[in-house]
Amino acid sequence: MSKIKNTEYGLEKTFEGAQDFLPLLGTDYVEFYVGNAKQAAHFYKTAFGFQSLAYAGLETGIKDRASYVLSQDKIRLVLTTPLNSNSVINEHITKHGDSVKVIALWVDDAVRSFEETTKRGAKVFMEPHIENDEHGEVIRSGIYTYGDTVHVFVERKNYNGIFLPGYQPWKSDYNPSPVGLKFIDHMVGNVGWGEMNKWVKWYEDVMGFVNFLSFDDKQIHTEYSALMSKVMSNGNGRIKFPINEPAEGKKKSQIEEYLDFFEGAGVQHIAVATDDIIKTVMELKSRGVEFLSAPPHTYYEEIPGRLGKHMNDMHEDISILEKLAILVDADEDGYLLQIFTKPVEDRPTLFFEIIQRMGAKGFGAGNFKALFESIEREQAKRGTL
């Protein structure tokens, strides 16, 4: 059973089968461990239009790391780098490269979130603890999910500072304009061979999520490679985590390529929502963000047929979508527009998706084939197909 309502996060689907022992209010922040946070912050400001929000480091009394917090509408990214060779952060960067470490979830009660998930089998990352400063207090706790990735629960109802205790506002003279990114629509994890169902069950049992969409390798394949995917959602539909695993094909699955270069399971892509994908993508391209190439012209000729009744609602000019390589898909509720960047680091691992939902609640299943053929063209260039 599910209900749909219109909220500031777009159309939300409420899943009544989901458990309410872990109420999640939304994504609080996403923290990357990177080799050089100062330069990474410059990239996300310049290329993706993130704004300077907060900073912690030597100047604020933190001795072992520097963290830059960037925001754009409801999205907060934290870029953290170690300041010495002894930091445990180095292990993550050495093994995985620059990558997502923390998917932080905003909760009303971080102690209860910790207790409810650990008693259901979650491995402890961070015991609940209180952090204070003159702006109040924040309680955080954390658990491991797939690979070395963690979920941190953030309770901030008694806090009115800029980000977290210990952080100061980051005032910069360099402030490129935002590009229209609004909130995180979903974040996808890649897990190892045969491990998808284990993590689906983990999200069901430990986090109270529901599996509301599944795609098998018969649906997600090209001539050469395949993968399987199941989409997990929390009760209010704000947190959506598709989980992918590789499947056997004639050549190497893109998921296997990821697992080889990431050296394990981890976050594959972060999908961010926009209200105007044409404007956002034109802006991103002008700032040097690289996207996967367009599918063949026939893909765009077939759009009216694929959209059916939703074609009447479509405002966008198909020739502009084709020029920008934006993909289109539809489900019974509406259509969606999406595009994928190339990996944002040298290892072919993490990338971003830009998505505009016009009623559709799916993930672009109709685009999987076109998308994967595009990814395979990139894999072939890397010699990893």
Binding site for Fe ion (CB under 5 A): 271, 353
Q: Report, in Å, the least distance between residue 215 CB and Fe ion.
A: 12
Number of CB atoms found within 10 A of residue 304's CB = 12
Which pair of structure tokens corresponds to residue 342? 């190339």
Q: Report, in Å, the least distance between residue 89 CB and Fe ion.
A: 27
Number of CB atoms found within 10 A of residue 358's CB = 19
Which pair of structure tokens corresponds to residue 219? 């649906």
Nearer to Fe ion, 68 or 203 (CB): 203
Q: Report, in Å, the least distance between residue 229 CB and Fe ion.
A: 9
Q: Roughly what angle, to the nearest 10 degrees, separates helices 368-382 and 254-262?
A: 50
Nearer to Fe ion, 40 or 273 (CB): 273
Q: Report, in Å, the least distance between residue 268 CB and Fe ion.
A: 9
84 CB-contact burial (10 Å; exposed 0-12 / middle 13-18 / buried 19+): exposed
CA 328/CA 294 separation, integer angstroms = 12
CA 60/CA 58 separation, integer angstroms = 5
Q: Report, in Å, the least distance between residue 227 CB and Fe ion.
A: 12
CA 44/CA 291 separation, integer angstroms = 15
Q: Shortest Cβ contact with Fe ion: which residue?
A: 271
Q: Report, in Å, the least distance between residue 270 CB and Fe ion.
A: 9
CA 357/CA 212 separation, integer angstroms = 18
Which pair of structure tokens corresponds to residue 117? 């998930």
Q: Report, in Å, the least distance between residue 272 CB and Fe ion.
A: 10
Nearer to Fe ion, 153 or 215 (CB): 215
Q: Report, in Å, the least distance between residue 267 CB and Fe ion.
A: 11
CA 179/CA 187 separation, integer angstroms = 20
Starting at the earlier edge strand, list the strands of the sheet with 351-358.
210-215, 226-233, 240-247, 183-190, 266-273, 351-358, 334-340, 327-331
Integer angstrom CA distances of residue 255 from 79, 202, 229, 373: 25, 20, 11, 13
CA 359/CA 314 separation, integer angstroms = 11
User: Which DSSP helix (H) or strand (E) runs through 7?
Assistant: strand 2-7
Q: Report, in Å, the least distance between residue 269 CB and Fe ion.
A: 6
Integer angstrom CA distances of residue 196 from 100, 244, 253, 371: 19, 6, 15, 21
